[in-house]
Each structure stands twice: as structure tokens, then as C-alpha cells.
Amino acid sequence: MKENSKTLHPTKKKKTYFITGISTEVGKTVAAAIVTEALKADYWKPVQAGELENSDTHKVTRFISNKKTVFHKNAYALKTPMSPHAAAEIDGITVDLKEIQAPKTDNNLVIEGAGGLLVPLNEINTILDLIQPNYKVIVVSRHYLGSINHTLLTVNLLKEKGFDVSIIFSGDEHKTTESIIKKMTNVSIIGRIDEEPYFDKNVIKEYADKFKELL
């Protein structure tokens, strides 16, 4: 009996990846660009606070080589580089979770958060409330004094909530930090983004090719 073509070539299920960090300035945007390029996924930053002329979406756009990626509009583009709840107050608005709906796409989707998991969006909700049960969550961890604690708190909270969690390390290697995080979290380590002199499309593509099989 002839097999159904769908059995021979099953449709690959599209995935959504949520990129979060253990703090600010840990390399989320570069990590998001690498994952986006590796999967030729769409990219979406739900809430942008500050740097509207050179937003994270602008930065990721400059890093992407493939022609498939679609860059989706922010749900909220706030003028001040502060926690979203405070930036929204300055703009005279309140961030409403109902207004933050993931874009419809037939492609894989990479979503970049703002700051860490418990950054407030308003007086009730945090970034964590944007992460849906079916999302794969990638935590970007960078070594600094206190980063082990911040990484364990972030990963353990996500695991308690039942999320599929993995880690990307960012910056210069710090073996004792990375090894204890790996041992105590017991989650998948995708790799490390080194402290490169610069990032451009070629460097992003090199990391994308390196990380692709682990995503």
C-alpha cells in the first residue's frame, strides 16, 4: 500500500521561542537575532521602552541575512528607557495585556522580552505573563557578581511554571559560573556567545549555524 505523502514528509510544527534575560544588558537582542537567523523565524518585540529610533527591532533587522524573516510591530513603543510600567506612565497610558497579542504567522516566531521575567508591565502583570505554555524559553545568562543567583532564580521560576527552558551564555567564558549553573539547573545549554569585537550579519550567521541543531 502506498504511504501517504504526509507520513513520508510530516509537516514540521512551528515553534515560538521567548528570549528572556537574567537582567538588563546581558545580550538578549544579539541572542534573539541569532535564534531568528538560525530558524529563519519571524521576530517580535512586544514592548519597546526607549530608543525608538534605534530599537531592538531595528538592531535585529540589521543582523539578519535571510529573506524569510518578518519583523512584527511592537504592541507598545514607549518613549522612555525605563521599566515598561514607568515608561507607560510617563506616556500617559497603561500597558494592557489584552493589547499584547502574538502576531499570526505560519513561520517560527522569536519573541524578545524586556529586562528580566519580573519586570512590571503595569501594576499587576510582568514580562512572565507574556509567556504562553507552549513557548520554548531561552534564558540569556552573562557572568557578573550575582549572576549565578539571578540565573538560578530565573530558570527555577520558569521550571516551576512548567516551561521548556534552555540557556545561552553571553560574554567571556567563566567556567565555575557556567558549570554550577548547568549542574544546578539541569537544563539544556545551547552554547555561548563570546565577547566579540563587533556583531554584524556574518558573525550572527556563524553563531546561527552553530546553534541551529540545538534549538
Residue 125 has what pLDDT?
Answer: 98
User: Residue 10 pLDDT more than 60?
Assistant: no
User: Residue 90 pLDDT more than 60?
Assistant: yes
The domain containing residue 207 runs over which residues?
15-214
**36 within some domain:** yes
Report residue 204 as a C-alpha cell: 550572527
Q: CA distances (Å), 97 to each of 76, 123, 137, in order?
A: 10, 11, 19
**6 within some domain:** no
Grid cell 497610558 — which residue?
93
Q: How far apart are CA 143 and CA 165, in angstroms?
A: 19
What mean pLDDT, rounded, does the chain reach?
94
> Mean pLDDT over residues 97-120, rounded?
96
* Residue 5 pLDDT class (50, 70, 90 cuts): very low
Pair type for strands 76-78 and 136-142: unpaired
**1 within some domain:** no
Q: How many domains does the chain have?
A: 1
- Residue at 103: amino acid letter: P
121-146, pLDDT tens digit by residue?
999 999 999 999 999 999 999 999 99
**2 within some domain:** no
Left if phi > 0, otherwise alpha if psi is -120 to 50, otherwise beta: which for 151?
alpha
**10 within some domain:** no
**5 within some domain:** no
33-80, pLDDT tens digit by residue?
999 999 999 999 999 999 999 999 999 999 999 999 999 999 999 999
**7 within some domain:** no
> Mean pLDDT over residues 26-36, rounded?
98
Q: Which of the residues 2, 13, 45, 182 is marked catalytic?
A: 45
CB-based contact 65:205 (threshold 8 Å): yes
Residue 128 has what pLDDT?
Answer: 98
Residue 64 has what pLDDT?
Answer: 98
User: Residue 32 pLDDT more than 90?
Assistant: yes
**39 within some domain:** yes
% of the chain with per-residue pLDDT over 70: 94
Return phi, psi of residue 190, to 5°: -70, -35
Q: Is 45 a catalytic residue?
A: yes
Q: What is the DSSP string of 73-84?
A: PPSEEESSSS-H
CB-based contact 31:193 (threshold 8 Å): yes
Q: What is the DSSP string of 98-162?
A: GG--PPP-SS-EEEE-SSSTT-BSSSS-BGGGG--TT-EEEEEEE-STTHHHHHHHHHHHHHHTT
CATH classification at residue 153: 3.40.50.300
Q: How far apart are CA 79 and CA 89, in angstroms?
A: 10
User: Residue 6 pLDDT more than 50?
Assistant: no
CB-based contact 135:17 (threshold 8 Å): yes
193-205, pLDDT tens digit by residue?
999 999 999 999 9
* Residue 13 pLDDT class (50, 70, 90 cuts): confident
User: Residue 1 pLDDT more than 90?
Assistant: no
* pTM across the whole model: 0.93
> Mean pLDDT over residues 94-101, rounded?
97
